[in-house]
Structures are given as C-alpha cells and as structure tokens.
Amino acid sequence: MKTIAIIGAGPVGLACACWLLQKNPEASIKLFDKFPENDETIGHGDSRGLAISQGSHLLLKGIGAWPENSPAIHKIHVSHRGHFGRAIVRREELQQEALGHIIRYADIHLALRRSLKKIAANNRHFEWHFNTNINELSKTDLADVTIHAEGGLFNQQDWQDIYRDYQQSAIVGWAKLDQNNAHLAWERFTEEGPLALLPSHKGPEYSNLVWCGHPDASNRRLTLPKEVFIKELQEAFGSRAGHFLDVGELRSYDLGLNARKNIIGHKEVWIGNAAQTMHPVAGQGLNLGLRDAHTLAEELSNDSDIQTALNEYQKRRQSDRKATIGTTDFLARIFTSKLKPIIWARGIALSGLQLVSPIKQALTRQMMFGQR
C-alpha cells in the first residue's frame, strides 16, 4: 500500500485528501496541518470572497464540501473605465445553472475540514497531524510520496521558476451599494488594474470588493477616512453598479506570478499555490488548484508505481496550467498598459468578444472547467 504525505491543510490539501480517500477508502495518508484540531480558528479566519467556478462547484459537491452560503453568479459584466468596449456573459449562453459562485475562504476551508473528518472517520490508516510547524517539517522519509500543498501568498514565496511582480496590490473587503446586484459580477478595468464587484454572502445590496492598484496607492487608500475612500472608489468604478454607501473589512495583498516549470520531483509533487500563484484578475487561482488536487488523486489511486503516476499527472496538467496561467498573466498586463495602440486594441477586443459568441463561450468555458 502506498503511503502518502500531504504538507498543508488549506482548501487544496484538504480536497486532495478527500478525493484520495473517496477513491481508496483504505489509503494510508498523513496530513500535516498548521491549525489546531478545533474548528473555531478556521471559522473566524479569512473572510475574503473567492470565485469558485462551476466546474469546482461540481467537484466539491461530490465530496459533500459545498458551503450553504455561496451566492451564484448569473451574469458577468466586463468593461473598461473611460474607454469603449464591453462584454457581457450570461449563464443562459452556456446553458449552465451558474457561471460560478462566491465563497468566503473561511467557509470553504471549514466545509472541507468537516467533509474530510466524515470521509476519514472509518479509515484506520489516516493520520491528521495538527499544530504542525510546516516550515520546519522534514521533506524526506515522510511517506512513499509527498504532496506539497503548503501554498502561501505571492510575497511569502521564495521560489521563482516563472516570476513576475505586477507592482500591484489588491484591496479586498465588502462594499454596500444602493442598487441590487444579486448574482451579478462586475469586472471593471481601470488605469491601475482590475476593479471587481462580486456577489456577497451579506445580501444583494452588498458586493465583495477587489480593487487592484499600485501598492503605494493601495496603502494610501487604506489610511483614508471611510467617506474619502468611498468617494475615490466611486470615481474609479463609476455608477454602473449604483452608488457606494459603505465599505468594511478592508485589507490588501501584494500581487504577482510564481509558477513552477516542473511540478513533480522524485516521489514528490506540488499542487495549488505551492505550484502556481497568480493574479486574481480572472479568479482562477483556487479553481486551478482544485483541478490539480482532483487529477493527482486520480493518478495516485491507479495501480501504477508512484513515479509513473506522477509523470502522468504532470502530463495531464500541462495544457490546463499553461492556458490558465498564460491567460491570467496576459490579462493582468494588457489591461494596465498605457500605450494608446494597446488601449484601442483592448476596446476592440472587448467589443469583438461580445459580438463573436463562439469565442466568448470558449473562453468562458475554459474559466469554468479548465483545459481538457
């Protein structure tokens, strides 16, 4: 029987353990978690909203890890502040119940924790090691294969196979408006970067806010009185979504790209943010990580030897990683360029995307389900 060690018990590491045990209830797994066994810390943790694609929604439902409070996205409105061109995507165009959902990080983390506890309840070979110092954990002799799912944010990572510092940070939090924006996601590109309003668990008059800008500008905005912050936010976004009344739980994250060229080694493999950290412009980070975890669980559940399974895993993930990382990187850079020819091209591209339905649908399906 293969022994498997998973370093890191965030959403991707937990999901991987769930799928491994679901496919092989007798799997021998050691999960190393930096958090305590009690769920209270998780429940009061990170409240930022994450975009979960319809493909990820189906995968998570299959292991009973879908949080109840997960507002759906039925329409996405993409526009370019101060310039022509826009694109609108509706769920009906793709014949889907939803284009995606927004879930708080703490909620999905907690849902996956509880799901794993149920799935692993009768497994004699599953070990969950809590309060682990992940940074000091030995990377050798843990198991026959070690899965790195320790993740981390861009500015916390020191590996740089593929590296780009976008010189941006994202202010995240919530905003209250005087307009009902239920099931509507706004992606508004400004001169500083994307500014998104996404459905919120707080209700239809609230939105999850993601405001990307230069780090100095983001830091300055976080020090502003609330009424001044709201005024600047209104000026940056415009009035398409209504008028901003309030904001809260504001904080910022530095943005950049880190991606490993090789995601496997000798009996070890990297998934999720341990394999790639991306700009949030298309909301693809966690979705790509969940597809990593699901594919790896499939390969490690086969009868092939470990290195053959890892080689096949890397082969299967190549096109999806390349397409998703490449698209996200391109969008993050192209919509911050101030060159007039590129600005004109952006408007033409958005208008063309709206007019040429097959291309729009193909791009949306890539974001919803990944490259297959």
pLDDT tens digits for range 111-150 = 999 999 999 998 999 999 999 988 777 666 789 999 999 8
Distance separating alpha carbons of residues 310 and 292, to the nearest angstrom:
12
pLDDT band at 272; cut points 50, 70, 90: very high
Considering the domain boundaries, does residue 242 fall inside one? no
Whether 26 is covered by a domain: the verdict is yes
Tokens of 243: 């008028």
pLDDT of residue 344: 44
244 located within any domain: no
pLDDT at 341: 46
Confirm whether 111 is domain-assigned: yes
The pTM of the full predicted model, rounded to 2 decimals, is 0.89
**pLDDT exceeds 90 at position 96:** no
For 327-361, the pLDDT digits (tens) are 888 888 776 655 554 544 544 444 444 544 554 45
pLDDT band at 24 (very low <50, low <70, confident <90, very high): very high
Under DSSP, is residue 298 helix (H, G, I), strand (E, B) or coil?
helix
Q: Which residues contact 266 (CB under 8 A, 6 or more apart)?
A: 307
> Which has the minimum average pLDDT: 39-43, 54-58, 301-305?
39-43
- The confidence score (pLDDT) of residue 370 equals 53
How many folded domains does the chain comprise? 1
Q: Is residue 168 part of a domain?
A: no
325 domain-assigned: yes
**For position 94, which CATH number holds?**
3.50.50.60
pLDDT tens, position by position, 165-220: 889 999 999 999 999 999 999 988 888 888 999 999 999 999 999 999 999 999 99
Q: Which domain holds residue 125?
A: 3-161+257-369
DSSP 71: P
Q: Does residue 141 sit within a domain? A: yes
Both tokens of 218, joined, read 């983001």
- The H-or-E segment that residue 198 falls in is strand 193-199
Asked, for residue 184, whether it belongs to a domain, the answer is no
Per-residue model confidence (pLDDT) at position 333: 79
Q: In sequence order, what are the residues at sequence separation of 6 or more whose Cβ sits closer than 8 angstroms to the Cβ of residue 235?
A: none
